[in-house]
Chain A
Amino acid sequence: MIGIDRATARSPRVRHGWREAKLVLLAIPALLFLVIVLFVPLINLLSLGAASGTFAPYRHALSDPLYLTVIGITFSIALATTAICLILGYPVAYLLSTSSRLMTAVGFVCVLLPFWTSLLVRTYAWIALLGRNGIINRLLLEWGVISEPLRLLYNSGGVLVGTVHVLLPYMIFPIYAAMVRIDRDLLLAAEGLGAGPVSVFWRVYLPLTLPGLFAGCALVFILSLSAFVTPALLGGGRVIMIANIIQTEVSQFLNWPFASALSAIVLASAIFVYGALGLLTRAQHGSPRSQAYV
């Protein structure tokens, strides 16, 4: 009771101030943790690349043909991964959101199980499947489809198989989330007004799923920009992405300023895509809150 007396005795503004102050206490441990362990050291790292004032590491990264190739490969793989995940994922999300409970459950198990399985386990399995002496080549040889083993691994195709497999669930979940939220009556209304199935899809259904689609694409693109394990193991040293270069620069050459410049480049691209997603979603939907973060 004393609490209520005290609260009513104060003006609402003071009361709100108190409330905010107590709430902030809840946030402090986590924020302090992130600031100390991540943000301050991150700023330190990024300042290394610009320390000399000449931006030499950046110029080096953006002029040396070797690094330009790596940056090019990284972005084209990220783009291709996003496109393939969208083509494979959208229909699956649609099926999951419109099927019977049993089929939805089976579908979800097929998406979640690989999602939770260690990335390394899956990468190992792809090596076993796609390698020169791998299962697929053996079966094809045995059946007489091919006369000598295909090169399925250690090229960009092999890396793409890996990245698509890892990131496909990240595309399916947000699209699915957007699809289950769609009011089915809207589709019936469109049909009732004389729209054919094709125009119902393009003009009503697809626009309603766009926030999920944007979120999925941004997520997949950002995560594939920083792919490390897949190119390291399925690229066989031929497909090198930015994350692999950063790792080599740090572990082998201790070239921190250069690693800093490369980190800034990936980080800036990721933030740019994330920001563009926010803008697109807002333009689409009017409210920034309507986007699902995964």
Chain B
Amino acid sequence: MQLKSRLLRATLVAYCSIVLAFLMLPLVIVFPLSVSSATYLQFPPPGFSWRWFESYLGSPSWVQATVLSIEVGCMTSALAVLLGVPLAFYLTRSRLRPISASLDKLSVSPLIIPSIVTAIVVYRLFASYQMIGTRTGLVLGHTILALPFVVVVVSAALRTFDPVLEDAAMGLGAGRLRAVLYVTLPQLRPSILSGAFFAFMASFDDLILALYLSGANMTLPRKTFENILFAIDPTIAAVSVLQILFVVVLGGAWYAFAYRTRPASLAR
């Protein structure tokens, strides 16, 4: 019996290792490609060279696309938090259950609406206001995709938050606003940061809305998409490596800031 269960466990670990390796494989593979000296895809790389990183950093269009994507991502994240956190308060605190429950569904509906549909819908709207190719248009479009993440994460945290703490602060003389700002929001910090991070990623990774809304100003995903379609050269591998490293740093920072103060929330 002991032996059998150990054998089962070993099989499970082996199976899962293969699945996890499958998940990591594409990420790992771009590293050797990015420092290859070959001008086209060659494996194993014939020699070592930084030239694709140089070609990325030396290309204004790549750098502009990167800067635009980071800017739009930050603005989207900020707007999604500004809209999403108050909405989460309403959704979790309203006592008119039937109304708030349906609004709850409505506010996560952008997750369910296929993004190509969202893209053409917003495109039609913005085209009539000359907002195609503007930063505002991109940020507003991306906020649609990002808002549900903030709402879901923050409402989940608000549901476990003990409102007695807020009442206690009010009992001690604080007004509602003060109690929320000094008691509730600090408690929600990990989830607000998570929501902001997910919102940034939703924007930073979006291609489909950018295809329609970005006009002549390419975002990073759009520039990458066109490069893969028309001129697949190892510059993309260098861009990929930098993006992976960027995500690792950002994800690490998110983890540190969001959970550092509350390790208990991760303990199983």
Residues of A near any B CB (own CB < 8 A): 3, 16, 19-20, 23-24, 26-27, 29-31, 33-34, 37-39, 41-42, 44-45, 88-89, 91-92, 94-95, 97, 104, 107, 110-114, 116-129, 131, 133-135, 138-139, 165, 168-169, 180, 197, 222, 225-226, 228-229, 233, 243, 246-247, 250, 256, 259, 263, 266-267, 270-271, 274, 293-294
- Contact, CB under 8 Å: A121 / B20: no
Q: A277–B41 Cα gap in the complex (Å)?
A: 44
Closest to B171 in A: A4
When the two chains form the complex, which single residue of A88, A117, A127, A266 contacts B244, counting CB atoms closer than 8 Å?
A: A117
Given contacts A95-B16, A111-B20, A118-B247, 14 further A-B contacts (CB under 8 A): A30-B86, A34-B147, A37-B144, A94-B12, A95-B13, A107-B20, A118-B220, A118-B224, A119-B207, A120-B228, A129-B25, A226-B114, A250-B123, A293-B111
A38 touches B110 (CB 8 A): yes
B5: which of A97, A197, A267 is its contact (CB, 8 Å)?
A197
Does B124 lie at the interface of the complex (its beta carbon under 8 Å from any beta carbon of A)?
Answer: yes
Contact B112 A27, beta carbon cutoff 8 Å: no
Residues of B within 8 A of A119 (CB): 205, 207, 221
Interface residues of B (CB under 8 A from A): 5, 12-13, 15-16, 19-20, 22-27, 29-30, 33, 41, 43, 82-84, 86-87, 89-91, 93-96, 103, 106-108, 110-118, 120-125, 140-141, 143-144, 147, 151-152, 175, 201, 204-205, 207-208, 211, 220-221, 224-225, 228-229, 232, 236-237, 239-240, 243-244, 247-248, 251, 268
Partner among A23, A33, A120, A197 whose Cβ is within 8 Å of the Cβ of B90: A23
Q: Which of B29, B96, B114, B120 contacts A128 (CB 8 A)?
A: B29
B41-A131 in contact (CB<8A): yes
Interface CB pairs A-B, < 8 A, 25: A20-B96, A31-B107, A33-B143, A34-B147, A41-B122, A42-B117, A42-B121, A88-B22, A95-B12, A95-B13, A95-B16, A112-B251, A114-B24, A116-B247, A117-B244, A118-B220, A119-B207, A120-B207, A222-B114, A246-B116, A266-B114, A270-B113, A271-B112, A293-B108, A293-B152
Total inter-chain residue pairs, C-beta < 8 Å: 230
Tell me the minimal C-beta distance from B76 to chain A in angstroms. 12
Q: In the assembled complex, how far is the CB of residue B142 from the closest CB belonging to chain A, in whole angstroms?
A: 11
* Cα of A197 to Cα of B87 in the assembled complex, Å: 46
Taking CB atoms, residues of chain A closer than 8 Å to B118 are 38
Q: Is the interface of B mostly helix, strand, loop or mixed?
A: helix
**Shortest beta-carbon distance, A17 to chain B, in Å?**
10
In the complex, the answer to whether A118 meets B27 with C-beta atoms within 8 Å is no
In the bound complex, do residue A37 and residue B229 qualify as a contact, i.e. CB atoms below 8 Å apart? no
For B228, the chain A residues whose CB sits under 8 A away are 120, 123-124, 127, 233
Which residues of B lie under 8 Å from residue A118 when comparing CB positions?
Answer: 204-205, 220-221, 224, 240, 243, 247
